[in-house]
Every structure is written in structure tokens, then in C-alpha cells.
Amino acid sequence: MKSFKMQHRFFEKAEPRFFNEFTAPDWLTSANTVKGSTMDGRWFWEDHVLTLGINESIDTDFQRITRLN
């Protein structure tokens, strides 16, 4: 199971959030959106976040997501 850490890029005092493939936030996975809609961000989750190698990171506008294992 892949696990991740998400840290705010600008507010360094913000606590990091830890999650795995199954507990990721809905805004990241697009679990509650209509597939193909303008709010469907599955492409980012499936094609970019889930393909990260261990210790690799990807940035959103406000968060840095790092794969832990």
C-alpha cells in the first residue's frame, strides 16, 4: 500500500497530513465528482500522484505531496 505525506507549501507551521491510497482526501481523488466534469481531477491523482516513486514529490498550488512508501 502506498502512503503519502501532504505538507502546505507556504504555511510551514501547518501540520502535515498523512494518508494512503484508500484514505486520500476527496478533493485529491475526485471521489465525489462526476467523471469527465470540469471538477474531475482524477487525472492528477491517477497519472501523477499514484505514479510517484518512493521519496518523490509533486506540488499542487498549495500543497506538496510526497510518497513515503
Q: Nearest 5°: CA angle at 10, between 19 and 67?
A: 30
Range of the domain at 15: 3-32+39-67
The pTM (predicted TM-score) of the whole model is 0.89
The pLDDT of residue 63 = 96
Domain total of the chain: 1
Query: 7, exposed or middle or buried, with CB in 10 Å at 0-12, 13-18, 19+?
Result: middle
End-to-end CA distance of the chain: 8
Per-residue model confidence as pLDDT tens for the chain (69 residues): 999 999 999 998 999 999 999 999 999 999 888 998 888 889 999 999 999 999 999 999 999 999 999
Strands (E), 1-69: 3-8, 17-20, 57-59, 63-67
Query: 22, exposed or middle or buried, with CB in 10 Å at 0-12, 13-18, 19+?
Result: exposed
